Every structure is written in structure tokens, then in C-alpha cells.
């Protein structure tokens, strides 16, 4: 299993995160594409949320070796032509280190605040499928074009072309459509933890095979918050403190993490949980959460990472 970091925040903090990740031997830094960075209303009003694509442009020029990943951009924010052009630009600015992730979008409030069209989930999946076809055609040096109900791309030579291939990532929690689209289009399937994780992975593998692709040639990754401590007592104290800070009962926080299969417990227990992900075929895990060199470093040290 290889490890990566996902972070969000002001650019200077992301640059620190990239430097930290590179120094610690992590393989990638991923950014989420959100215009609000807090789920609670008051937090969303004050927590800085910058444009992640522009931040990735800065990171593309101020880093040299670490992979850069958009994990993921909602199709509701931008026409796929914009995603295509930004992806090729970042691919060239980073000398081939950029991966484009696309999803349906899920945060209702940011769509309301900024006035984004927010179709039904069914239509968002239709648009996502077309966007994946559109972008794949645009990445193809022979550009066969694309014709869909929502998006159309003329078979026209696009310049500049990407350096090599721009990897395409599909990620989300969908039970059926997300694994199918990943199997058909993705170079990386980011499967979020959950009680049906094995079933979603199997559906992805079947979809890839049905599309004439080798499932083993597609990177299988996962991501999530990790809550760990050296001893059981320290872990329990950490959970109690986190529940208080979130305004939740301990039972509510436990249920929240259980639903998401959040790796948690002592360092030894978390390593066992990550090993179970690896046994399902997951070859990369993105550590999510608030980044700080001391806390993130302590977590990696405890898990024996890098």
C-alpha cells in the first residue's frame, strides 16, 4: 500500500503540505474541489475556500516530484470543456504529474449559495457519464469527438495536447453507477470506505472486464479520515474530545465513523483496518483531515508510514 495526503485551505498551507508529503515519501497530494469548506452554516461563512484548480496550478510550478490529484471536481461546477482544458494545462505545467478526478457533486449548500444548477442525482450521473466520455475523447490524440444529450465535442485536433496521458479518476460513494463508470472510463477508482466496499469493488471489476479493460490495470484507491492513538485510553480520550468539539454525543460520533468505516483505534488496530482495504485490492490510501506537520507527522510515525 502506498500513501498520499488530501488537504484543503490557504495556498501557503497547501505548499507546506506538498513539501511535507514529499519529504515523508507520500506519493501524491490531492485537493478537493469545494466552494465551501465546512458543513455547518457558521463554519462555512468563515473558513477560507479558494479555487482548487488555481491552487493546483501554483503547486504544479512550485513542486517537482509529487503527483497532484483533483479528488474530485463536481460536474455541476464546470462544463467538461473547461475541465478538459484545465487538465491538459495542469498536465503540461506539472510535466505529467496531474490526475483529474470528476464526480457528481453532493454538497447541496454550496450549490445554493453560489447559484449552481443542481439537477437530480439521476441527471447528475447522466452528465457525469457524458463528461467522462467527452474528456476521454479530448485526451485522445486522435480525438474522435463526442456526441451526447448534454455535451458535444467536435472531432477537432486540440492544441496543445497533453504530455502522455492525463489519468482520469472516478470517485464517490455510489453503489452501482459509480463503480460502473469507473470500470468503463477511469485510470483510478477512488472507492470511499463503507460497509459495502467489497461489493462496490467487485462491481467495478466486472464493469471494467465488460468494457474490455483489465481491472488490474486500473489503480484502486481509497481515502478518509483516520483517528488513531498510541494506546486505547488515549484513543478513547481523543474520541470524547472530538465528540465535544463537534457538538455530538459520543454515541453519535461512533455511529458517524462506523457508517463510513473510518479507520480508527490504536495504531496497531488502524494498520489492521488498512490491511483489510489492501486485501480488497486497494493500493493507495489518501489521508484526509486537517493538515498540520506535527499532528500528521505523529500519525504517520505511529502507523509506521514512510
**pLDDT value of position 95:** 97
pLDDT at 245 over 90: no
pLDDT at 204 over 80: yes
What whole-number distance in Å separates Cα of residue 128 and Cα of residue 177? 10
pLDDT at 39 over 80: no
pLDDT at 111 over 80: yes
**pLDDT value of position 40:** 78
Q: Of how many residues is the chain composed? A: 306
Question: For residue 85, what is the DSSP state?
Answer: H
**pLDDT value of position 44:** 84
**Residue 123 CB-density burial (10 A; 0-12 exposed, 13-18 middle, 19+ buried):** middle
Inter-residue contact 139 to 168 (CB < 8 Å): yes
pLDDT at 188 over 80: yes
Q: 19-28, 34-43, 192-201: which range is least confident on average?
A: 34-43
Inter-residue contact 63 to 20 (CB < 8 Å): no
**pLDDT value of position 189:** 98
pLDDT at 306 over 80: no
pLDDT at 114 over 90: yes
Return the CATH number of the domain spanning residue range 2-303.
3.20.20.30
Tell me the average pLDDT across 115-134.
97
Quote the cell numbers at residue 94: 506539472
**pLDDT value of position 17:** 97
pLDDT at 6 over 90: yes
110: nearest Cα among 47, 177, 193: 47
**pLDDT value of position 136:** 97
Q: Mean pLDDT, the chain, as a whole number? A: 95
Residues 6+ apart with CB under 8 A from 238: 227, 229
Tell me the average pLDDT across 134-143.
95
What whole-number distance in Å separates Cα of residue 277 and Cα of residue 242? 25
**pLDDT value of position 289:** 82
Residues 6+ apart with CB under 8 A from 81: 134, 138, 151, 153
Amino acid at each position: 500500500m502506498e500513501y498520499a495526503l488530501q488537504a484543503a485551505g490557504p495556498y501557503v498551507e497547501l505548499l507546506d503540505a506538498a513539501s511535507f508529503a514529499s519529504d515523508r515519501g507520500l506519493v501524491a497530494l490531492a485537493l478537493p474541489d469545494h466552494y465551501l469548506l465546512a458543513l455547518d452554516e457558521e463554519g462555512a461563512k468563515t473558513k477560507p475556500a479558494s479555487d482548487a484548480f488555481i491552487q493546483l496550478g501554483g503547486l504544479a510550478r512550485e513542486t517537482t516530484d509529487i503527483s497532484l490529484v483533483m479528488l474530485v471536481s463536481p460536474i455541476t461546477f464546470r462544463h467538461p470543456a473547461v475541465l478538459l482544458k484545465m487538465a491538459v494545462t495542469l498536465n503540461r505545467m506539472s510535466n505529467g504529474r496531474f490526475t483529474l478526478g470528476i464526480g457528481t457533486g453532493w454538497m447541496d449548500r454550496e450549490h445554493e449559495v453560489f447559484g449552481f444548477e443542481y439537477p437530480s442525482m439521476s441527471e447528475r450521473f447522466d452528465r457525469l457519464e457524458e463528461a467522462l466520455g467527452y474528456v476521454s475523447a479530448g485526451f485522445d490524440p486522435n480525438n474522435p469527438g463526442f456526441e451526447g444529450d448534454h455535451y458535444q465535442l467536435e472531432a477537432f485536433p486540440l492544441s496543445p495536447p497533453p504530455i502522455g496521458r492525463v489519468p482520469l479518476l472516478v470517485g464517490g460513494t455510489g453503489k452501482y453507477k459509480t463503480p460502473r463508470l469507473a470500470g468503463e472510463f477511469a485510470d483510478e477508482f477512488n472507492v470511499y470506505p463503507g460497509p459495502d466496499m467489497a461489493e462496490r469493488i467487485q462491481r467495478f471489476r466486472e464493469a471494467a472486464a465488460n468494457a474490455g479493460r483489465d481491472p488490474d490495470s486500473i489503480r484502486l484507491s481509497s481515502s478518509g479520515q483516520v483517528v488513531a492513538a498510541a494506546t486505547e485510553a488515549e484513543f478513547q480520550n481523543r474520541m470524547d474530545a472530538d465528540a465535544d468539539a463537534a457538538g455530538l454525543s459520543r454515541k453519535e460520533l461512533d455511529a458517524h465513523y462506523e457508517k463510513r468505516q473510518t479507520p480508527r483505534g490504536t495504531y496497531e488496530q488502524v494498520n489492521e483496518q488498512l490491511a483489510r482495504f489492501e486485501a480488497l485490492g486497494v493500493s493507495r490510501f489518501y489521508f484526509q483531515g486537517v493538515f498540520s506537520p506535527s499532528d500528521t507527522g505523529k500519525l504517520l510515525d505511529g502507523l509506521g508510514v514512510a
